[in-house]
Amino acid sequence: MSTGASIKAFEEAQQLIPGGVNSPVRAFKSVGGTPIFITEGEGAYLTDVDGNKYVDFVQSWGPLIFGHRDESIEAAVIEAVKHGLSFGAPTVAETELAKLVVSFFDSVDKVRFVSSGTEAVMSAIRLARGFTGKDDIVKFTGCYHGHSDSLLVEAGSGAVTFGNPSSPGVPADFTKHTLLATYNDIESVKKCFADSSDIACIIIEPIAGNMGLVPADKEFLAELRKICDANGALLIFDEVMSGFRGSLHGAESITGTSPDIITLGKVIGGGMPVGAFGARAEIMSQLSPDGPVYQAGTLSGNPVAMAAGYAALSKLQKNGQIMSVLNARALRLVEGMKAAATECGITMQIDTRGSMFGFFFNEKPVKNFADACNSDAELFAKFHSGMLDEGFYFACSLYETGFISTAVTDEMIENTIQASAKVFKAITNG
């Protein structure tokens, strides 16, 4: 497979863009080689600048549940563009999409649109602090909630609970109110509340997608709900990645635990940049202009993004069986790859939630970030490279989730499994 044009494009990009990319994971640092530069997406496929074609299991990191260039979404965007790109004023399209989003979630009465997942989470935490009158937050190691300062933290040394900045440029004062806990470990959460009586919220990916696919245990989420209720804190479900991917009605519908605030993104924009956060009316009434908690954005509720999101969610609403179909394909994929790996003496841990799938080259089940870090990164890099050569595009990090779109057929799944068997044999034979 020739990648000369991608190599040239990457070299040029590095002269003008830090690292040659506008989001770090795209740089292929963890898998080696040169990132593939894309010219076109069509259905389940990506085509790069060298003319190579790949079955896409990334789907723009989740938004494209109907694949690239879905006709109904594309038509909605083109029609919206004809009327203008942005107004900085209210449109009916915002209300229509809000009505649709709210209809999917039992715990949401009102929603506010923003332009990214990072912005949604940042705003949700500010709202939680404003509502409770408290300052501290609890997050989990391995859960990614965007790159806002208070969330770029790493665990302190020894028994220290409070986080330290994990990126230069983030003052320690910005993270001193962020407490770190271990995913699926309720005792670590209890320790946070023992260390602070000023906790405004717990924020968690109920279906973690940024340390690989690691769903939270139902019992764990239920205990988080109890702890929040007992301490006057709010529970935030970050479903920027899992919203409309893990379940059409949110993680609450499959875990039995209801959050106080939900953050969303990805699918609700149909491929356009969109984020949102929502809650019951009592909490949302604290937002400006109704309440004192300020949040604003010039491009929030952008009419083109609203049109794309409405088209995507309307299609999901009319085709409720989609999730079970996609989950069946996701299961077939990871089970088939696991069987192929086992034949070569390679141990894989697999999981799916709705149209999301994940796998680890790990001897033990993965329940948290420490478990994920024990996976074989070198083997993943070899697998990623081999599958790319075979024409299959997987996320370029072992800490990311894969996605099935409706454009991925059963035949494509079988072809992927066969290709994985070929790659595993090549790896084990040296």
Check if 310 is active-site: no
Of the residues 318, 336, 367, the one at which a domain ends? 318
Residue 171: predicted pLDDT:
75
Check if 218 is active-site: no
Whole-angstrom Cα distance, residue 397 to residue 28? Answer: 8
Whichever domain contains 296, its CATH number is 3.40.640.10
Of the residues 265, 296, 318, the one at which a domain ends? 318
Q: What is the mean pLDDT of residues 301-322?
A: 96
Shared domain for 213 and 326, answered yes or no, is no
**Structural domain total, the chain:** 2
Check if 266 is active-site: yes
- Determine which one of 144, 310, 393, 399 is catalytic: 144
Residue 430: predicted pLDDT:
74
Residue 394 lies in a domain: yes
Q: What is the mean pLDDT of residues 232-244?
A: 97
Instruction: Report how far apart, in Å, the C-alpha atoms of 47 and of each of 24, 60, 378 are.
Output: 21, 13, 26
Confidence of residue 155 (pLDDT cuts 50, 70, 90): very low
Shared domain for 82 and 186, answered yes or no, is yes
- Determine which one of 238, 260, 351, 371 is catalytic: 238
Shared domain for 93 and 228, answered yes or no, is yes
- Determine which one of 110, 139, 266, 382 is catalytic: 266
Residue 378 lies in a domain: yes
Residue 62 lies in a domain: no
Q: What is the mean pLDDT of residues 76-86?
A: 97
pLDDT in tens, 94-131: 999 999 999 999 999 999 999 999 999 999 999 999 99
Which residues of 36-156 form beta strands (DSSP E)? Answer: 38-42, 45-48, 53-56, 110-114, 136-140, 153-154
Shared domain for 360 and 232, answered yes or no, is no
162 lies in which domain range? 71-318
Residue 17: predicted pLDDT:
97
Does residue 378 surpass a pLDDT of 60? yes
Of the residues 318, 353, 388, the one at which a domain ends? 318
Whichever domain contains 346, its CATH number is 3.90.1150.10
Residue 165: predicted pLDDT:
67
pTM over 0.85: yes
Residue 163: predicted pLDDT:
55
Residue 159: predicted pLDDT:
33
Does residue 157 surpass a pLDDT of 60? no
